[in-house]
A = this chain, B = another copy of it.
Amino acid sequence: MLNQIDLSKKTPKGTYAKQFDKKSAELGYLGRALRDAKVPVIILFEGFRGTYRGKLINKVISALDPRGFRVYSASKTTERQKMSPFFTQFWKELPPMGGISIHHRAWYFLRNEHDVGDPDEAAEWYNVPFHEINDFERTLYLGGYRIIKLFTHISQKQQEKNIAKDKDSLGSRWEALTPAGIEGVDYKAYRNVYEKMLTETNTVYAPWHVIPMEDVRTGILETMDVLISEFKAALSAAETQKESSQAPLSYASDPSIPSILARYDCNKDMDEKTYDEKLKKYQKRLAELQVELAKRKISTVVAFEGWDAGGKGGAIRRLTSALDPLGYKVNPVSAPNDIEKAYHYLWRFWTKIPEPGEIAVFDRTWYGRVLVERVEHFTPVKDWKRGYEEINEMEEEWAKQGFIVQKFWMHIDPDEQFRRFKAREEDPDKTWKITAEDWRNRDKWDAYVDAVNEMLYRTDTPYAPWTVVEGNNKYYARLKVMSTMIDRMEKALAAVDDKAGSKAKKG
């Protein structure tokens, strides 16, 4: 790819000044139009060292409204960030609708440094496969984000010249702000790594634009051309999408999806005495496991979905009441608020994943995408249909970082739900728990059964399994949740300790 780039073009100063002003005005106008159209844009700058990327970025952003963008650099990644799943920091840096994020080196930089640099402690963390990067970018693109990837190219000779000049004129002054020093300068080694990167991640959703920076003025103008063209395309795509989202959408239920829920008998026995005994035992064990997991920095995600009045709240309360509250958080999930609506639908979950060694419980989850949003037609079919794949990818990223990811479907039958609704209405302490909305949802029971079956079918994975909890008997349900968690946690501990043990033996 790089071989095809013409580095010989030069732009005289006079031509440059005139064109720069013209393109600046256009870019400024398009930037405002994108903000009004609420299109979020992600601009990445990667490339060889010594290509004046800093200057290039400064020139480009001078055309944009300074209130509309944020600039980030992956070279500022902290040790703390390396303890979270790779993409966590980038999810947190996503622009809201109508915003622009500019990345002076992003996820590619980290990956490339791994390929070129000496393997060290953090090596595994950096070594994210290209197909996962492609997945990440595709998820964003299909979620409405425009991703513009720019690669600054240069010859070895010019690179050497620039770096020498840079050293004289700026010395070590800039290190505090532009930590370029940590990037290598072995031109040939980097060229090989970059070729591979450009080839493997040049996708239809987020293609690369190689910018010749041999002549800085030429590079700046070409970058502006790319941005103008991409901004225009993003605007016209936003227009088209507005129209197409008004088109009627239908969904044929898939007969190949098994009736998973029907396999479960909601009625399981459990008397109070056995419950009390086991509850105590399980809570003690969970408290111990919380400490052991915290020591080893193993994080846990516990996701609860289920029928209204299915017993989520009670199960969460029993699960957490023995835990140290400094080590867990319960995240209630309801309809997204104004801020959350301004981001990708998965953003609000990525920003709530557990800290290293902690437990995050979700009372309702990201599965709302394929449950309520599907059943209530809040989201077009083509969008929630993608949810299964996007959610699996997200959970896999967490599991790769060593997270325990466990999902529960709290299952009761319609008769039991009716009894509970009635009981709640009659109990003054519980009547707040029941709303007209809950009664309305009962009418959609069958539509939900279809949605739940498809969800269980498509997202029950080895790294993030579903457990259906038979819930007509609350005692039974709560204990099943707790014993499932104990089992998952014990296995995770054993796996980590085994690994540490075999390492110690080798060492």
Binding site for B on A (CB under 8 A): 25, 28-29, 32, 54, 57-58, 61-62, 65-67, 70-73, 76, 80, 102, 104, 173-174, 176-178, 288, 290-291, 294-295, 313, 316-317, 320-321, 324-327, 329-332, 337-339, 357, 361, 363, 429, 432
A-B contacts, 16 listed (Cβ < 8 Å): A25-B429, A29-B429, A58-B325, A62-B317, A70-B329, A71-B325, A73-B326, A102-B325, A104-B325, A176-B295, A176-B357, A177-B294, A178-B324, A178-B326, A337-B338, A339-B339
A-B residue pairs, 5 tightest by C-beta: A67-B332, A71-B325, A176-B294, A66-B330, A338-B338
Say whether A32 contacts B432, CB under 8 Å: yes
Copies of this chain, count: 2
A104 — nearest CB in chain B belongs to which residue? Answer: B326
Complex CA–CA separation, A174 to B290 (angstroms): 10
Given known pairs A176-B295, A339-B337, the reply for A66 and B326 (CB within 8 Å) is: no
A452 CB, nearest partner CB in chain B, Å: 23
- List, in ascending order, chain B residues with CB within 8 A of A325's CB: 57-58, 61, 71, 102, 104
Contacts of A72 in B (CB 8 A): 326
* Cβ–Cβ < 8 Å partners of A176 in chain B: 291, 294-295, 357
A66 to B319, CA, bound (A): 11
Given contacts A62-B321, A325-B71, contact A291 B76 (CB under 8 A): no
Q: With a CB–CB cut-off of 8 A, which chain B residues contact A80? A: 80
Whether A291 touches B66, Cβ cut-off 8 Å, given contacts A73-B326, A337-B338, A432-B32, is no
Q: Could you say which of B58, B70, B294, B330 contacts A67, with CB atoms under 8 Å apart?
A: B330
**A326 touches which one: B67, B71, B288, B331 (CB < 8 A)?**
B71
| A54 surroundings in chain B (CB, below 8 A) | 324
Report the bound CA distance from A294 to B179 in whole Å: 12
CB-defined contacts of A330 to chain B, threshold 8 Å: 66-67
Q: What is the CA–CA distance of A313 and B65 in the complex, to the nearest angstrom?
A: 9
> Taking A337-B339, A339-B337, A339-B339 as contacts, is the C-beta distance between A66 and B316 under 8 angstroms?
yes
> What is the bound-complex CA distance between A325 and B104, given in angstroms?
9
Query: How many Å from the CB of A363 to the closest CB on chain B?
Result: 6
Q: In the complex, A330 Cα to B68 Cα: how many Å?
A: 9
Bound CA–CA A176/B296 (angstroms):
9
Please give, as numbers and ranges, the residues of chain B lying within 8 Å of A62 by CB-CB distance: 317, 321
Residue in contact with A177 in the complex, picked from B67, B326, B339, CB distance below 8 Å:
B326
